[in-house]
Amino acid sequence: MGLVLGIIGGTSLLFADLPPLEKTTVATPYGKAEVYTGAFALLLRHQYSLPPHRINYRACLSALAILGVDRIVAIGSTGSLKPEIPPGSIVIPTDYLSLTDIPSIYECSIEHVRPELDADLIRTLGELVPEARVGGVYAQTRGPRIETVAEVKGLSKVADIVGMTVASEATLALELGMRFAALCTVDNYANGLGSETLTYEHILATSRANAKRTGDILEKIVERLA
């Protein structure tokens, strides 16, 4: 099978217009995963309406590898940890950290991958989305709850945006031999930074408002990389 572009999307793609793709169920050693295939492979991380802490990341990333994916762009919804990164921004992180357990495909052997986000993919994304902020650290929390005010204060000292999925996806992609980069939409200020009371409904409303922009960005990525 030839090399394939993989796109992972979640909340930020809920309301975007997606290209015509065929749903495929892929069996993996870790369970089944649904992937939409065509000119590229699209995996919706919240398939079966699973919250972040219940996603079968090993099955999802393994399914992409089985389909021949060699490079992944993950589009993720995040909260801003910095006043200078307002909602509506787009961030292409260059590093990540996690406050929770990250899954691994290695259960019976001692293997250590060097975690990294792919510099070439980051550079390409920066060219395709010139309005994006290139650089910064993505912090992953477990979810599904929103971070406490105290957690946000602590995270803001070492990271710029916070989400619940990308660090797990990035690490598994590396273990499976796939290059990985992320494009993060900033849908809200993290808890305590903004004047509004943060709710999931507020996050969804922001995703809905930016749906066309997200769809246009996805189209550019596919045209360039697929």
pLDDT at 134: 98
Token pair 């357990």 is found at 101
C-alpha dihedral (183, 189, 193, 195), degrees to nearest 10: 160
Whether the pLDDT of residue 61 is over 90: the answer is yes
Residues whose CB falls within 8 Å of the CB of residue 171, separated by 6 or more in sequence, listed in order:
102, 103, 104, 113, 115
Beta carbons of 138 and 92 less than 8 angstroms apart: no
| Arithmetic mean of pLDDT, 98-117 | 86
Rounded to an integer, the average pLDDT of 56-70 is: 96
Paired sense of beta strands 95-98 and 69-80, if any:
unpaired
Under 8 Å between Cβ of 53 and 18:
no
pTM: 0.90
Q: What is the pLDDT of residue 15?
A: 60
User: How far is residue 205's CA from residue 142's CA, in Å, rounded to a whole number?
Assistant: 22
Q: Does domain 4-225 have CATH number 3.90.79.10?
A: no
Q: In this structure, what are the phi and psi dihedrals at residue 52, rounded to the nearest 5 degrees?
A: -50, -40
100's tokens: 């929770």
How would DSSP label each residue in 45-61? TTGGG--GGG--HHHHH
- Per-residue model confidence (pLDDT) at position 13: 67
Using CA atoms, how far apart are residues 107 and 180, in angstroms rounded to an integer? 22
Q: What is the pLDDT of residues 150-188, one digit of tens each?
A: 999 999 999 999 999 999 999 999 999 999 999 999 989
Q: Are strands 31-37 and 41-44 parallel, antiparallel or unpaired?
A: antiparallel
- φ/ψ region of 136 (left if φ > 0, alpha if ψ in -120 to 50, else beta) reads left
Number of H helices, E strands in the chain: 6, 11
β-pair partners for 78? 186
**For the chain, domain boundaries:** 4-225
pLDDT grade for 140, boundaries at 50, 70 and 90: very high
Rg, C-alpha atoms of the chain: 16
